[in-house]
Amino acid sequence: MAKSILIIDDDVSLRSLLKDIFEYANYEVYLACNGKEGVESYRRITTDIVLTDMYMPEKDGLETIREIKKEFPQAKIIAMSGGYKGGEDLLHSARNLGAIDSIRKPFNPDDIIRVVNSTLGENIAENTA
């Protein structure tokens, strides 16, 4: 059975790219354009993993992680942030709020698949074969 992922990011190009990457890796992909929409989506469709950006309108990544983890303590969340000043602090804060892992943008497809599969405790070859 395919694993499911909720991708929360306000950058339409990155959402589209991540959708393609994860569909190619046999994930069922759900998309949200901001934290508010992401939390609402996760309430409706509890995916295997959540990949969320840190800077977004409506509700930022830290608020999104806090809200999801409060309602769903078992949620597996990965935070992503760009390489700008303060990005590393945000990723550290995200892990303190319950994100299992984090990744800095930009990243290549192999890196993001590896981080997600590792967070799910899966062998990379399982989803890319």
Task: List the CATH number of the domain containing 41.
Answer: 3.40.50.2300
What local confidence, expressed as pLDDT, does residue 86 receive? Answer: 53
Number of domains in the chain: 1
| pLDDT tens, N- to C-terminus, the chain (129 residues) | 789 999 999 999 999 999 999 999 999 999 999 999 999 999 999 999 999 999 998 899 999 999 999 999 999 999 999 756 555 788 889 999 999 999 998 899 999 999 999 999 875 444 443
| Residue 86: both structure tokens together | 């303060």
Residue 129 lies in a domain: no
Residue 127 lies in a domain: no
Residue 82 lies in a domain: yes
Of the candidates 23, 5, 14, the one whose C-alpha atom is nearest the C-alpha of residue 128 is: 23
Say what the pTM is: 0.90
What local confidence, expressed as pLDDT, does residue 83 receive? Answer: 59
What local confidence, expressed as pLDDT, does residue 124 receive? Answer: 46
Give percent helix, percent strand, percent coil of the chain, each to the nearest 5. 45, 20, 35
Q: State how far the Cα of 44 lies from the Cα of 64, in Å rounded to an integer.
A: 15
**Sheet containing 77-81, strands listed edge to edge, beginning at the edge strand earlier in sequence:** 28-32, 4-8, 49-53, 77-81, 101-104
Q: State how far the Cα of 77 lies from the Cα of 95, in Å rounded to an integer.
A: 9
Q: State how far the Cα of 76 lies from the Cα of 98, in Å rounded to an integer.
A: 8
User: 79: domain range?
Assistant: 4-122
